[in-house]
Amino acid sequence: MPKTKEAVFLNIPYDPQFTRLYLAYITALSAISLLPQATLGITGNRRLDRIAGLIESCAYSIHDLSRVQLDRHAPRTPRFNMPFELGLAVAWAQANPRHRWFVFESVRRRLNKSLSDLDGTDPYIHEGTVRGVMREVCNAFVSRGTQPTVPHMMKMYRELRRDCPGVLKNAGAQSIFTARVFSDLCVAAAGLRSKYLGSD
C-alpha cells in the first residue's frame, strides 16, 4: 500500500449511535485537506494484515476511545477493536517516528482509568459533541492553506448531513457504515471544503 502524507487512519466505532461523530470526523478531516481511511469493508481472515497495512500507509492516525462501555446485547462486551488498533499504531510509530497518532476521548481523565499504559499522553476531549470533534481536530492539526474555523466546519457538517440521503441513494445502500458510502462521503466533504473554503 503506498504511503501518503495526506492519509489519516480513522479508528472509530462504526455504528448508528456514532453517526453524528462519524460525520463530524469526516467533515473536520476533509476541511483540513486530510484523506480519512477506514477499516470499513475490510473482512476475512486477512483482516489484521490489511488493517496493519492501512495504518502503515497513513501518516497519521486518530483513535477515538470514547466507546468504552459495554454494549446492550448479551453477552455484554466492551469493544476492544479500537484500543487494539491504537496498540498497532503505537507499535508502528515506535519503529517509524514519522507516524503520528492521536487519542480522542469524550470524558476527561477516563483514559487514565481505561488505558493507564498511556499515562502522560494528553487525549483530545470532544465531550461527545460534533463541535467538540471539530475543535479538537483543529487543536491537533494546522493546515498549510486556509485554516478552517469551527463555524466553517459546522456549516459543512450540516450540509453533509442533509446530503446523506442522496449519497445513500446513489450507492443503493441502507447504511452509511459501508466502505463505498464512506468514500463517497469523503468526496462530498472535500467538495464542501472547496465550496466553503476554496481550493487554495
Partner 1 sequence: MRRPVKLDFKPLSLRETAKRLGVPPARARKILALVGVDFDGRIVSTAPLKSQARTGRASSRRAKTSTR
Nearer to partner 1 (CB atom), residue 79 or residue 164 = 164
DSSP designation for 91: H
Contact 185, 160 (CB under 8 A): yes
Nearer to partner 1, 9 or 60 (CB): 60
At closest approach, how far in Å is the CB of 142 from partner 1?
Answer: 5
Minimum gap (Å) between residue 183 Cβ and partner 1: 4
Write out the H or E segment, with its range, that includes residue 171: helix 150-171
Site membership for partner 1, residue 140 (CB under 8 A): yes
* Binding residue (CB under 8 A) for partner 1 from 44, 144, 172, 174: 144
* Cα torsion angle, 41, 46, 52, 56, sign: negative
Instruction: Figure out which of the listed residues 6, 90, 155, 178 binds partner 1, where binding follows CB under 8 A.
Output: 6
Q: Which one, of 11, 17, 21, lies nearest residue 127 by Cα? A: 21
In whole angstroms, what is the distance from residue 101 CA to residue 121 CA? 11
Q: Confirm or reject binding of residue 108 to partner 1 (CB under 8 A).
A: no
Residue 111 near residue 163 (C-beta atoms within 8 A): no
Among 115, 130, 153, 167, the residue binding partner 1 under the rule CB under 8 A is 167
Q: Cell 495526506 belongs to which residue?
A: 6
CB of 21 to partner 1, least distance (A): 20
Which residues bind to partner 1, rule: CB under 8 A?
4-7, 32-35, 60, 100, 122, 138-145, 159-160, 163, 166-167, 170, 183-184, 186-188, 190-195, 198-200
